Amino acid sequence: MLEGDCKSCLKETAQNNIKLLRLGQRTTCPELYALPRGAEKVHGEFVSSLNAGDWGFILVRGYNGAGKSVYIKYLEHIANAYGYAINHVEVDSELIKQYGAPKYFSLQMFNTIRLPDGEMLLYKILRDEKFRDKLHTIVEKNFADFDFYSSALAQILLLATDNSSENKGQRNNAVSWLKGEPKYVMELRDMGVFDKTMKSILDVPTSKLLYSMKDLIQHLGCKGLLVSVDEIEKAGELPVIKGRETLSVIRDLINILTSEDSLPIKRGTMKGLFIAYAISTFYLGYSGVIEVEGVDFRAQADQYGKPKVTIQEMPRLSTMLRDSGAMISADFGSIEDIKSIAAKIIPCYSFTNSRNISLTADELAKQSFEITNDFLARSNVMTMIRILDKV
């Protein structure tokens, strides 16, 4: 179910993938991802938990260009095939400066949810009347559960999915609220929201929003929800207060899975919730979360830039990440890993250009490594494409 044939995709898609690889950009095609050999055990355990509908956490680390984001996309592909909704968040330092971390994450936790059919939840609410009817019935039937997490969100969801003609104006206001557009106290009162601090979805605590969304998508028939947060190292680039806010939200999301006091654990609703974090090896090392033999992360600050905020400033987060048994490295560690990606690239390149490639995966990997002299995925992939261009 999870593996396919490179030639089963459209030629135009394959051509675009090769263009992306040539530029060193990531592609979401699962057929063009090669799992590093050292990552197989932890990856296999996480995927098994996904398949079983259990719950889990995975921390993805790697150097710049190693393929952390590509692995996250690969993981999302697997989860999607198993029937999970995907909530993909990339830390955006500019938007966090604008909104503040809690509001930014709350907005992303709703606006980026992609259902197993590939459609975004918010877009489907806007465009699909039958879907709105289905969602309205779910929210109405389980209103007490959603109200328990956030009475404001529960009421807004009820209005945003009400197709009755007399409710059109209120539905538009409710959708506006879901988009993060603040409402006046009188507008909130008209919609049945009596907490004047809940001006928009930005004001719903991120954890409460996540509980609600996880329950909602499971009522829709999804197996669960995978929340992936990429480029967490950008928290270190933010001003100190904003950076600490960001790491605090990151910590709280893990607490949902690990704390005995979290609401999902108390209510027995953990199953189906998975969280994946991607953090650069440098940021983890500079923060003292990991150690790599022979590497002085402090000395690397000249190359990567000295973080303004480190994970150590959030002791609970630092401890959880350091002691995590679910840490996976996206780094290639041997020529065998390069051979694995070469074996993926050759058939795609051949299909794209409608010609046979005389080089074997072993030969392509060897030539690439002789040029790059390292195992970094991005540089080797770009080099392989240039080699094939000349064959």
pLDDT tens-place string over residues 111-154: 999 999 999 999 999 999 999 999 999 999 999 999 999 999 99
Per-residue pLDDT band at 53 (split at 50, 70, 90): very high
Domain boundary among 146, 172, 203: 203
Note whether 325 and 228 are same-domain residues. Answer: yes
State phi, psi for 2 to the nearest 5 degrees: -95, -10
Q: How many CA atoms lie less than 13 Å away from 98 in the CB half-sphere?
A: 10
Domain that holds residue 13: 1-27+332-391
Note whether 100 and 50 are same-domain residues. Answer: yes
pLDDT for position 3: 47
pLDDT for position 259: 62
DSSP state letter for 120: B
Note whether 228 and 303 are same-domain residues. Answer: yes
> Tokens 């794209």 map to which residue?
352
Domain-located, residue 305: yes
Note whether 312 and 373 are same-domain residues. Answer: no
Distance CA 76, CA 47 (A): 10
State phi, psi for 258 to the nearest 5 degrees: -110, -20
Task: Please say whether the beta carbons of 199 and 183 come within 8 A.
Answer: yes
Per-residue pLDDT band at 7 (split at 50, 70, 90): low
Q: How far is CA 176 from the centre of its chain?
A: 25
Note whether 305 and 349 are same-domain residues. Answer: no
The average pLDDT across 73-91 equals: 95
Note whether 246 and 301 are same-domain residues. Answer: yes
Distance CA 292, CA 296 (A): 8
Note whether 228 and 276 are same-domain residues. Answer: yes
Note whether 339 and 317 are same-domain residues. Answer: no
pLDDT over 80 at 220, yes or no: yes
Task: Please say whether the beta carbons of 52 and 8 come within 8 A.
Answer: no
pLDDT for position 77: 94
Domain-located, residue 212: no
Percent of the chain past pLDDT 70, that is, above it, reads 95
Q: How many domains does the chain have?
A: 3
> Mean of the per-residue pLDDT values for the chain?
90
Distance CA 296, CA 275 (A): 30
Grouping H, G, I as helix, E, B as strand and the rest as coil, residue 119 is: coil
Domain-located, residue 293: yes
Note whether 264 and 347 are same-domain residues. Answer: no
Per-residue pLDDT band at 269 (split at 50, 70, 90): low
Domain-located, residue 215: no
Instruction: Considering only residues 384 and 303, tell me which one the structure prediction assigns the higher pLDDT.
Output: 384
Note whether 303 and 345 are same-domain residues. Answer: no
Domain-located, residue 3: yes
Grouping H, G, I as helix, E, B as strand and the rest as coil, residue 328 is: strand
Note whether 50 and 103 are same-domain residues. Answer: yes
Domain-located, residue 213: no
Note whether 112 and 255 are same-domain residues. Answer: yes
pLDDT over 50 at 100, yes or no: yes
Domain-located, residue 128: yes
